[in-house]
Amino acid sequence: MAVNHFPKEINIEDRKRAIDRRKVQEIKSSQRKNKSLLLFWLLIGPGVLVMLGENDAPSMLSYAATGSTFGVGFFIPFVLLTFFMAYIVQEMTLRIGATTHQGHAQLIFDRFGSFWGWFAIGDLLLGNFLTLVTEFIGVRAGLGFFNISAVFSVILALGLVVGVSLTQRYWTWERITLGLAVFNLVFVPVALMTHPNLGQTAHALLFWNPLPGGFSQKVLFLMMADIGATVTPWMLYFHQSAVADKGLTTEDIPAGRRDIAVGAILAAIGGIAAVIAAAPLFARHISAQNFAAAQFAQALEPIIGRWGAALFALGIFEAGLVAIITISSSSGYAFGEITAKPHSLNRPVKEAWPFYAIIFSSAVLAAVIVLTPNAPLEYIALIVNVIATLAMPPALLFVLLLANDREIMKRSYNSVITNVIAIAIVVFISLTGVVYGVLTVFPHLNF
């Protein structure tokens, strides 16, 4: 019997990815003086996007609420701790994606079966959709500071999401989204406009000041909100799928780690800046922890002026926009993986229309809900927090098990030290997530 030795058909996705990989190999084999910098530019992307994408509108408002409620003493180092946890989790995700060249959803189905696969996907898609609603709320509220109508704000965001995705080129999509994500650092000049006490801030970083009034239920709520601002299920699916779509290999893992580290540092700077920016409200005894984006900007305007308040509002808009782009993409990736349909930003729409349809339809439906009169937006935001915190323990457990699966990980499986740290993170987030979820549903319980 004749054996067919011909390789499978090379599609457009493969060709585009091969072009990107050829550029990387050319730089690696060259003798250029700026070789390291060029390689970093070519390989950076998924790690920075996943970290800055998580600095979404609800996250930045959570950081601002933290600063306005408790000042900078306890929560600045706590924010740094949460990004350290995020780095450990995303580093495992990077190695899984670079080694297997598969998305997270596909691997869960392959390694754990359809029951756990559908369980994980159900959690992801529901959580992603509800989170998209909160991102559009942030977009609407951010531009609302400038008296821009809700309809125009939402349509503008939708137009940008569709435009970026229709480039049909992962590299172009990644570069545009990175450019938008960098504007998360707009919170830094806002923080500087408040003229923060640098000595007090440095002391908080070095010595981790005690909480004013001690530990309380309100403290636990904000701690959980800040944890949920840095480690969420969509990050795992997006990052692993983006690593595969970009074509990273095991040779690129060191560069991928630098990518994640840069993203974590930039996101931590943005988060801490939001805490510092809102800290003057704490000093003036203004209760602003429940403010929406425009209300926060309005509360800060007497302190930092019109320009500062405008930058804060624009930062909330940017945070929501980048999150809509990345979160909707993670839903598209997951759907494509479990249905075995083309799912790449390197594919034309006519070949991967279900992938693009999920991206666009999830964003459009979330936008419609935000614009629906009398929609229970506050209730949706509450449900999002509960789902996100309760969904994290099983999501983290899947990552940990996959990272220790030597059959698929080969030589890239977890080290003992990584396992110890990762298990501690899983236990910590699991316990605090469950407590946070319980307290959200039953706020009058005391501990």
Mean pLDDT within 366-383: 78
pLDDT of residue 287: 52
Residue 288, pLDDT > 60, answer: no
Cα dihedral angle (299, 281, 376, 158), rounded to 10 degrees? 60
Contact between 238 and 86 (Cβ < 8 Å): no
Residue 223, pLDDT > 80, answer: no
- For 330-365, the pLDDT digits (tens) are 999 999 988 888 889 999 999 899 999 999 999 999
pLDDT of residue 226: 78
Task: Write down the H helix ranges in 340-415.
Answer: 353-371, 377-403, 406-409
pLDDT of residue 389: 66
Contact between 56 and 322 (Cβ < 8 Å): yes
pLDDT of residue 286: 53
Instruction: List the structure tokens of 229.
Output: 């601002």
Dihedral sign of CA atoms 217, 218, 221, 226 in order: negative
All residues at 6 or more sequence positions from 185 whose CB lies less than 8 Å from its CB, including other chains = 266, 269, 270, 273
Distance CA 38, CA 57 (A): 32
Mean pLDDT within 258-267: 94
Residue 319, pLDDT > 50, answer: yes
Instruction: List the structure tokens of 166.
Output: 């229709």
Residue 285, pLDDT > 60, answer: no
Phi-psi region of 347 (alpha: psi -120 to 50; beta: other; left: phi over 0): beta
Distance CA 346, CA 399 (A): 26
Contact between 237 and 103 (Cβ < 8 Å): yes
Domain residue spans of the chain: 49-441
Residue 280, pLDDT > 90, answer: no
**Greater confidence, 159 or 287?**
159
Mean pLDDT within 19-30: 82
Mean pLDDT within 69-75: 79
> CA Rg, the chain, in Å?
22
Residue 379, pLDDT > 80, answer: no
Name the average pLDDT for the chain: 84
Distance CA 181, CA 169 (A): 18
**Greater confidence, 7 or 375?**
375
pLDDT of residue 6: 39
Residue 295, pLDDT > 60, answer: yes
- For 397-425, the pLDDT digits (tens) are 899 999 999 999 988 999 999 999 999 98
Distance CA 300, CA 295 (A): 9
Mean pLDDT within 152-172: 92
- Residue 5 pLDDT grade (very low, low, confident, very high; cuts 50, 70, 90): very low
- Residue 258 pLDDT grade (very low, low, confident, very high; cuts 50, 70, 90): very high
pLDDT of residue 437: 62
pLDDT of residue 7: 45
Distance CA 98, CA 93 (A): 9
Mean pLDDT within 191-208: 83
46-54 and 233-246 helices, crossing angle to 10°: 160
pLDDT of residue 401: 93
Q: How many percent of the chain have pLDDT more than 90?
A: 38
**Percent of the chain that is helix, strand, coil (3-state, to 5):** 80, 0, 20
271 backbone dihedrals φ, ψ, rounded to 5°: -65, -45
pLDDT of residue 4: 45
Identify the weakest region by mean pLDDT among 157-171, 299-313, 374-388: 374-388
- Decide if domain 49-441 falls under CATH 1.20.1740.10: yes
Residue 3, pLDDT > 60, answer: no
- Residue 1 pLDDT grade (very low, low, confident, very high; cuts 50, 70, 90): very low
